[in-house]
């Protein structure tokens, strides 16, 4: 959304790179930097960061503020034998055979460009082809991303991938909560503009829209919602009874 976008454009260089046009809100980035974000929203943020050098840079700035606050924090004394214990732990750590420099290289298959960021692939064990799509009707499909069992802060959030065939529309709808959408493939257009790969759209109950996927390839999005959609088109009231998007 444009409102979300403007929140992070304090840097004059922002948005001049080849990356996405519609960015994360500063709220999301700040909560991610401070460590307060739940799992679903963190996955969303990380996925956008993968595709967006501007927001990665912005995150580094926020983390630098966090680091400086951390460094200026009044320290609390450790117990007298703390260092001794730590050094002893290093010895057993050595025995684990984990060298301090171990860097895990993935043997990635470069023959084909993946659609899903690695952070998402970790949840489903592969790229889009390993997803089990569920048909919602009108050619639209969803595939849930299984989040780890969550305590408290996360409850009620849902994370899924949405696939809309080229040229097809998602029926007119609004949102009962906040919906985060990240385009991973293709693009769509709605009342607010065009959203292409890497772009973020943040919608709430003030947004009533009918996104239409561009011709060419199907549009695949990562979606995080904290409440169901509410269809607002002519048949919406009836369909709402049967479908939970």
Partner 1 sequence: MEQFVELSNGVKLMSCLKRHDRLYPSDATATGSKKQFMTDPQNADAQQLIEWMQRLAVGQDRTAFAGLFGYFAPRIKAYMMRSGSDNAAAEEFAQEAMLMVWRKANSFDANQASVATWVFTIARNKRIDAFRRINRPELDPEDPLLQPSAEPMQDDKVIEDQTAQAIAAAMEQLPEEQAVMLKMAFYEDKAHSEIADETGLPLGTVKSRLRLAMGKLRSLLGDVEL
* Among 9, 114, 172, 189, contact with partner 1 (rule: CB under 8 A): 114
Residue list 202-231, contact with partner 1 (CB under 8 A): none
Question: What distances in angstroms separate CA 79 from CA 52, 74, 76, 84, 130, one per listed residue?
Answer: 43, 16, 10, 10, 50
If phi > 0 it is left, if psi is from -120 to 50 it is alpha, else beta; for residue 75 that is: beta
Contact between 138 and partner 1 (CB under 8 A)? no
The verdict on 106 binding partner 1 (CB under 8 A) reads yes
- Interaction between residue 70 and partner 1 (CB under 8 A): yes
Structure tokens given for 23: 């960015």
Shortest spacing between CB 136 and partner 1, in angstroms: 25
Give yes or no for residue 35 binding partner 1 (CB under 8 A).
yes
Does 118 participate in binding partner 1 (rule CB under 8 A)? yes
- What is the DSSP track for 53-89? HHHHHHHHHHHHHHHHHHHTSPP-PPPTTHHHHHHHH
Could you tell me which stretch among 6-14, 160-168, 202-210, 216-224 binds partner 1 (CB under 8 A)? 6-14
Percent of residues in the chain assigned helix, strand, coil, to nearest 5: 35, 20, 45
Q: Which of 2, 3, 6, 78 binds partner 1 (CB under 8 A)?
A: 78
| CB-nearer residue toward partner 1: 41 or 245 | 41
Q: Smallest distance, Å, CB 39 to partner 1?
A: 4
Q: Could you give the CA distance from residue 200 to residue 184 in angstroms, rounded to a whole number?
A: 10
Residue 191 touching partner 1 (CB under 8 A): no
Kindly state whether residue 156 participates in binding partner 1, applying the rule CB under 8 A.
no
Encoded tokens for 203: 């919608």
Is residue 111 close enough to count as binding partner 1 by CB under 8 A? no
Contact flag: residue 46 with partner 1 (CB under 8 A):
yes
Q: Strand 158-164 relative to strand 140-144: parallel, antiparallel, unpaired?
A: antiparallel
Closest distance to partner 1 from the beta carbon of 41 (Å): 9
Instruction: State the Cα–Cα distance between residues 154 and 15, nearest whole angstrom.
Output: 31
- Residue 151 vs 206, nearer CB to partner 1: 151
Q: How far apart are CA 89 and CA 84, in angstroms?
A: 9
* 3-state class (DSSP) for residue 40: helix
Q: Which is nearer to partner 1, 163 or 173 (CB)?
A: 163
Residue 95 contacts partner 1 per CB under 8 A: no
The smaller minimum CB distance to partner 1, of residues 4 and 170, is found at: 4
CB of 29 to partner 1, least distance (A): 10
Residue position matching structure tokens 């692939």: 121
């Amino acid at each position: 959304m444009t409102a979300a976008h403007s929140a992070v454009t304090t840097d004059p260089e922002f948005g001049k790179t080849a990356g996405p046009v519609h960015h994360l809100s500063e709220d999301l980035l700040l909560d991610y930097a401070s460590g307060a974000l739940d799992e679903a929203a963190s996955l969303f943020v990380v996925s956008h960061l993968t595709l967006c050098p501007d927001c990665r840079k912005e995150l580094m700035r926020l983390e630098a503020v966090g680091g400086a606050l951390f460094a200026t924090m009044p320290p609390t004394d450790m117990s007298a034998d703390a260092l001794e214990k730590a050094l002893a732990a290093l010895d057993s750590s050595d025995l684990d055979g984990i060298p301090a420099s171990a860097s895990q290289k993935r043997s990635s298959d470069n023959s084909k460009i993946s659609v899903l960021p690695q952070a998402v692939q970790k949840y489903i064990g592969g790229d889009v082809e390993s997803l089990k799509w569920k048909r919602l009707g009108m050619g639209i499909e969803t595939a849930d991303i299984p989040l780890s069992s969550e305590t408290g802060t996360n409850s009620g959030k849902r994370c899924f991938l949405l696939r809309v065939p080229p040229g097809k529309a998602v029926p007119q709808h609004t949102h009962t909560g906040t919906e985060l959408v990240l385009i991973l493939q293709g693009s769509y257009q709605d009342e607010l503009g065009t959203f292409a790969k890497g772009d973020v759209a943040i919608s709430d109950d003030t947004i009533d829209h009918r996104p239409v996927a561009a011709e060419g390839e199907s549009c695949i999005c990562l979606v995080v919602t904290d409440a169901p959609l509410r269809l607002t088109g002519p048949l919406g009231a009836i369909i709402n009874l049967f479908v939970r998007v």
